[in-house]
Amino acid sequence: MKVAVVGATGLVGTKMLQILEERNFPVAELIPVASEKSAGKEIVFKGKKYKVVTAQTAIDMKPAVALFSAGGGTSLEWAPKFAAAGITVIDNSSAWRMDPTKKLIVPEINADALTAEDKIIANPNCSTIQLVVALNPLHKKYKIKRIVVSTYQSVTGTGKKAVDQLMNERNGIKGEMAYAYQIDMNAIPHIDVFLENGYTKEEMKMVNETKKIMRDDTIQLTATTVRIPVMGGHSESVNVEFENEFDLTELRKILENAEGVTVIDDVKNLQYPMPLIHAHEKDDVFVGRIRRDETQAKTLNMWVVSDNLRKGAATNAIQIAEYLVKKKML
């Protein structure tokens, strides 16, 4: 199978190449794609060198699937051109997520919605993916009424420029700024642009994408998203109110048996999920600090951690491709 990776030289694109190799995805020929200024560079995949090509060259090479991680503008321009050539696009940008004609997929939850006719498939926002993987099995059992989520998001979610800013600040070096403020030893309650309602685009992505993925518009969600000087993954403090009463032991068992979830929750021995210690370079979503909200009935608090470059981006996209292969849609 010919596989194109669009945005192959970026943080997520590089991670996609790593995970394609790790998971032994059936790549007969890799087509790494980047901007014209990167064309001609070489990328090593499974010990073999491949030249970076432009998007049009990639279309002419007729891959079966194209994994996009090159930003919304690139996706809006090029995903339809790939799709028109019969190539299945799995897009990691926000370009198509809320398009009513496009599927927004987390394989553990709603891969069954996919058909062979879906030529542009949207990969959700990183902070949304880890939230819904943890919450969907509980929604099935107890029905979610309302979610209050605060995020603690890694600089890797912004990209290489932000990682460089953090490291420069840590080492006392002046350099290019990805953020309006210093990020080292700081917390910035601002991810993406502010909207007229006072929320950021990132916060509203979580609201809208959660409803679409979980196929339930009745779920009420409010979010505050915060960038912190952390590597290894995003963390979320989640308060969730259910329609139905729950037994904490049963609820914990549901999470322990949920696909893609690992429970780390033993506070007596100081065991709880952390991005660098547990999530970094792992594909699962880690859940801990599971406890009742003692101020309100039928309400739970928990802590959710996941590697935003892997399950939050690259791994989820590749899992979608794996599902398509398994169902003979690729």
Tokens of 246: 């729950």
Distance CA 218, CA 146 (A): 9
Beta strands in 243-284 (DSSP E): 261-263
CA 21 to chain CA centroid, nearest Å: 19
Indicate whether 36 pLDDT > 90: no
pLDDT in tens, 266-291: 999 999 999 999 999 999 999 999 99
Nearest in space to 182 (alpha carbons), one of 232, 229, 236, 244: 229
Q: The domain 2-124+313-326 belongs to what CATH superfamily?
A: NAD(P)-binding Rossmann-like Domain (3.40.50.720)
Q: Please tell me which residue in 139, 190, 234, 278 is annotated as part of the active site.
A: 234
Give pLDDT, residue 38: 87
Please indicate whether residue 234 is annotated as part of the active site.
yes
Which helix (H) or strand (E) segment holds residue 149: the answer is strand 144-153
CATH C-level class of 127-308: alpha beta
Please indicate whether residue 190 is annotated as part of the active site.
no
Which helix (H) or strand (E) segment holds residue 30: the answer is strand 29-33
Question: Hey, where are the domains in the chain?
Answer: 2-124+313-326, 127-308
| DSSP symbols for 183-200 | -TT--B---S-B-TTS-B
Contact 68, 90 (CB under 8 A): yes
Give percent above pLDDT 90 in the chain: 98
Q: Please tell me which residue in 126, 139, 190, 280 is annotated as part of the active site.
A: 126
Distance CA 89, CA 276 (A): 31
Give pLDDT, residue 37: 86
pLDDT in tens, 242-270: 999 999 999 999 999 999 999 999 999 99
Residue 20 pairs with which residues in a beta bridge? none
